[in-house]
Chain A
Amino acid sequence: MNLPVTLSLALASLWHRRGVLALVTLTLTLSVTLLLGVQYVRTEVRQAFSNTISGTDLIVGARSGQLNLLLYSVFHMGDATNNIKWQSYQSLRKDPRIEWTVPISLGDSYRGYRVVGTNESYLDHFRYGDGHALSFTKGHWFADTFEVVLGADVARKLNHKVPEEIVLSHGTGRVSFMNHDAHPFRISGILKATGTPVDQAVYVSLEGLEAIHIGWESGVAIPGQTVSSEKARALELTPKSITAALVGIERKVMTFQVQRQINQSDLEPLTAILPGVALNELWRILGQFERTLLGITGFVVVTSLIGLVAVLLALQAQRRQEINILRAVGASPRLIGSLYVLECTLLALVSCLLALALGALLITVLGPWLAENYGVVVRLRLLDSTEWLILAAVPVAGLLVGFLPAWRANRKLAQTSGF
């Protein structure tokens, strides 16, 4: 068989039939884009996901499942089952094996964004991605009881600047009817975007949270029992409880020992989780869905390939004369067969190239929009090996299904060739 001749014939033949073939190629292109896109975004999301928190050895909260604790403490999703006593938190701080702790107190919100009560240690110890620390586009970490730091998305979406004043809402609903109107907070700083839930949160001091809840012990403000901001400053504002704590262990080998000890604490029922393990478990659950999605898009590609072969088979009827001529000038049945296989493979290859271009275009155009509206950061990058494999599988599949028209052509040749 003569490959250069076959190849040039296949190319000329495809170009000759471009009108009909453009549509099936488009179908295949879209389905390959879908398949590749799902895998690409899957990789990206997983990356972003595992980058959410780093450097923290343990997360400690009230007794609950590790996923629940991870979700509310790191992703600010759902609510804590219970709080942990300030006393328990203090005992963590005193533990010599524990290098640092970061208190986290949740429960309020600002226009749907979670309010995180914490202290300076959050800025010092919270890390994301490859150990990146938080930094500011403007201003500084809160220094006063009534100062607030905004995550990047919060500031951008609500168009807040330093040093505007904002009023927090009681509870975590997107629309709240109970606002802490008496205690406005001044914006002291705005964080740089991180691509993590940090961007969607609002940070205040534990004391600030304590102050605005004086007189709210029953869940609503009782008139006469609340205090003004000025008076509050003079009060003892140490919280009685917090929601969770991030913990850094001095010697990492002690992590499991500390975890076990916290889980068996005498003070109150506590749960300590390893963030990495919990993230993995969460991803395993989410991953089921994504694998299913990938499987479905795989079938979409298979369907498109079948459509492609159907069109090639339909075109075969028009090609009887042409094949007869090629046979007459000495083309072997193998050459005719490889012409069909090659055409199918080339179309699949073209679809893959178009899908790559289309995918790159979509990511460039939709990336910023995704990041802004859904907080999903999808960057343009080179494909990883899995993605190349998926992409390469398409022309290979094209080659395999191309044997169908080739086989049929050869069967017909045996019956009806010649003059």
Chain B
Amino acid sequence: MTDAAQVSSAPAITTRDLTYRWPGADLVITYPDITLARGQHLFLQGPSGSGKSTLLSMLCGLASAQAGKLVVMGEDLRALSAGKRDQFRADYLGVIFQQFNLVPYLNTTANVTLPCRLSRRRRQRVTGSPEQEASSLLKALGLEPGDWQRPVTALSVGQQQRVAAARALIGGPSVVLADEPTSALDTDNRDRFLELLLGQAKAQGTSVILVSHDPGLANHFDASISLGAPS
């Protein structure tokens, strides 16, 4: 894959003239160029249908751009095979969805340690065992130890999102991609969640790209980009 030197010097994310077209649709979305330094947090704001989520899908290699340049941690994602993109995602990226973030048949700790089981790099980057790392992350994100062994379906939405954040952050990924992670939370919970997520990410040098339609979140971030309505 990528050699270490290249990774260490490259910006977290660089895109140039990125366009996407839904399969079978005529509409082409053109994205503004993004350059995100490592450890910096980026806020992506835009109305529904502006292609925010699709951009995240492309950044983590789950969707393919139609044209343009897409480099994450020095790796040209568009040049990688599907299998290598999956492994790259496991090694370097963390993902938080809007909701339903957790595998229902794994408990809280097992959900958090999941990336360490799929990526050797993530496992090697935790000090101690993945379970210990999960515990300290969950603690840092404000989850009580009593909840760690509970079935995740028994947790509140706010707790579930924090478990998802712990999972995204475990093993020090380079970038965390979050799609409207706070949309199901009330204002207090929302701000607290963002502080914890961004603070913890900063502490371990991880960039966060967060997508939301809510412009009120922008002040938490180093930079923000607005996507226009689809043309």
Interface positions of A (Cβ within 8 A of B):
2, 5, 9, 12-13, 15-17, 321-322, 324-334, 415, 417-419
Contact = CB atoms under 8 A, between A and B. Distances in A.
B104 A418 contact: no
- Chain B CB count within 10 A is highest, among A332, A334, A415, for A332
Nearest to B105: A16
A9 B104 CA distance: 11
B103 to A, nearest CB: 5
Given A2-B117, A418-B54, A419-B53, A331 B86 contact: yes
A5 B119 CA distance: 11
Given A16-B105, A417-B62, A418-B54, A329 B97 contact: no
B167 A329 contact: yes
A61 to B, nearest CB: 70
B179 A330 contact: no
Contacts of A16: 104-105
Contacts of B167: 329
Contacts of B10: none
A331 B102 contact: no
Contacts of B117: 2, 5
Give 8 nearest A-B pairs by CB, closest first.
A330-B90, A418-B57, A16-B105, A418-B62, A419-B53, A328-B95, A321-B100, A332-B86
8 contacts: A12-B105, A12-B110, A327-B86, A328-B95, A329-B89, A333-B86, A417-B63, A419-B57
B86 to A, nearest CB: 4
Nearest to A419: B53
B135 interface: no
Interface residues of B, number: 35
A321 B87 CA distance: 20
B74 interface: no
- Chain B CB count within 10 A is highest, among A2, A5, A417, A419, for A419
A327 B62 contact: yes
B115 interface: yes
Contacts of B110: 12
Contacts of A331: 86, 90, 118
Nearest to A323: B103
Nearest to A324: B97
A46 to B, nearest CB: 47
A418 B118 CA distance: 18
A13 B100 CA distance: 16
B83 A325 contact: no
Contacts of A333: 82, 86
B42 interface: no
Nearest to A330: B90
Contacts of B86: 327, 330-333
Contacts of B106: 9, 12
- Chain B CB count within 10 A is highest, among A9, A15, A326, A330, for A330
Given A330-B91, A330-B119, A419-B53, 7 more contacts: A322-B104, A325-B101, A329-B115, A330-B115, A332-B82, A332-B83, A417-B62
Nearest to A334: B83
A327 B62 CA distance: 8
B114 interface: yes
A5 B120 CA distance: 12
